[in-house]
Structure 1
């Protein structure tokens, strides 16, 4: 078996791995059946679908000839670091880290931090655009999660909200 497109082969492998992990993790919940779905039904079906799509992409990578073999380039370390850091910062700021004495800063502060840190991953960073995007995301998240869905989590830092 000769890999004719490295990009497609390894992206298909990644899809299969992530899909398989989701499907396997979903089995810890009650799956139910098509007529009476449990909480694990949707993640199980989504994981199976993702793994199937990954298998199709891998099949294409070994059957369809490409001009240069579509080699995999170098790792993009800067975007990888900032995207991961923004997600970690969002989680820590949203709920806090009580074991280390970090208080919960709430949804709004967490979204602004997420947007600004993730913006550093690109080749150019514009503060005005990041601020506008963060504001739209914060308002949209507040409306969707707090107002419409009535989810209970801190919106503002505890020293402001009381």
Structure 2
């Protein structure tokens, strides 16, 4: 078997592994029924769909010829650590300073990982994502997420 696209092969393999992992982990939770799904219902279905998508990408990588084999480039360590650090900082800050401070900070810091970073784009994204998060999670789903410090 000859790999015709290295990028597609490795990304498809990653999708399959993550999808199977989520589906397997979801089996520890109650499934419920289609009318009243339990906490394991959605992650199991999402994991299966992700694994199927990965299988399709793997199939493409093994069957459709590319002109140079699409080699995998160098691993981008800096963006990986910037984004992981931003998410970890968000997790630490959310209960302490609230969503209105922690979420824009997450968006701006994680956007620093991009080569196309602009302050204007980052600030617009931060405002829009914070507003949508407030609408969905606090107003729509009535979750108890602190908005401001001490709230």
Report the TM-score, using the length of structure 1 for normalisation: 0.85
Q: Say which of 142, 145, 151 aligns to 2:137.
A: 145
1:131: which partner in 2?
123
The alpha-carbon deviation at position 21 of structure 1 amounts to 0.8
- Structure 1 residue 76: Cα displacement: 1.3
Give how far 1:35 is off: 4.5
CA RMSD of aligned residues (A): 1.6
Which segments of 5 or more consecutive residues in structure 1 lack a partner in the other structure? Answer: 96-103
Q: Which residue of 2 aligns with 1:119?
A: 111
* Partners of 2:18 and 2:37 in 1: CA distance: 22
SS at match of 2:115: coil
Q: Distance in 2 between matches of 1:119 and 1:35?
A: 40
Structure 2 Cα separation of the partners of residues 128 and 58 of structure 1: 38
Aligned to 1:61: 61
Cα deviation for residue 124 of structure 1 reads 4.2
Deviation, 1:44, is 0.7
* Greater Cα shift, 104-113 or 75-84: 75-84
Structure 2 residue ranges without an equivalent (≥5):
none
Deviations 1:125-153 (A, max 9, x none): 33233223212222222222222222112
Normalised to the residue count of structure 2, the TM-score between the two structures is: 0.91
Q: Secondary structure at the match of 1:38?
A: coil
- With over 3 angstroms needed to count, the CA separation of the structure-2 counterparts of 1:61 and 1:120, relative to structure 1, is same
Note the C-alpha offset of 1:114.
0.4
